Amino acid sequence: MNSAMIRERPDGVLLTIHVQPGAKRTEYAGLHGDALKVRVAAPPAEGAANEALCVFLAAVFGIPKQRVRVEAGMGSRRKRILLAGVTAQRVRDVLGQRRHTGDHPG
């Protein structure tokens, strides 16, 4: 995973994510160019897909949903998401485990 998709900041980690709304289920789906790809079951209407993405990421990283925020890309498939209080190493560890086990909550 390159540094463009996972950026550490003083307040947490900024992730670059490509979202695929309207999927059969919400799950981590690997990489999409220089972004992490996440499929969400919610439709791309009235913020439903953004909300589903934040809930999913909170569950994946074991943090309260209030610590997950869309920083950029509210109306786009490409988003920058802040995980407050999370380190880049934690993100790499969790995503590495999911890639090897195929474990997808949601």
Mean pLDDT along residues 56-74: 97
| Amino acid making up residue 66 | Q
pLDDT at residue 105, as a whole number? 47
Residue 25's CB: how many other CB atoms inside 10 A? 10
Nearest by Cα to 22 from 43, 37, 3: 43
Which contacts of 69-77 are long-range, i.e. CB under 8 A and separated by 24 or more positions?
71/14, 74/47, 74/50, 77/18, 77/19, 77/20, 77/21
Question: C-alpha dihedral over 20, 26, 27, 31, to 10 degrees?
Answer: 10
Pairing outcome for strands 12-20 and 35-39: parallel
pLDDT at residue 4, as a whole number? 80
- Give the domains, in start order, of the chain with CATH numbers: 6-101 (3.30.1200.10)
pLDDT band at 39 (very low <50, low <70, confident <90, very high): very high
pLDDT band at 95 (very low <50, low <70, confident <90, very high): confident
Q: Give dist(CA 20, CA 40) in Å, integer.
A: 6
Q: pTM above 0.75?
A: yes
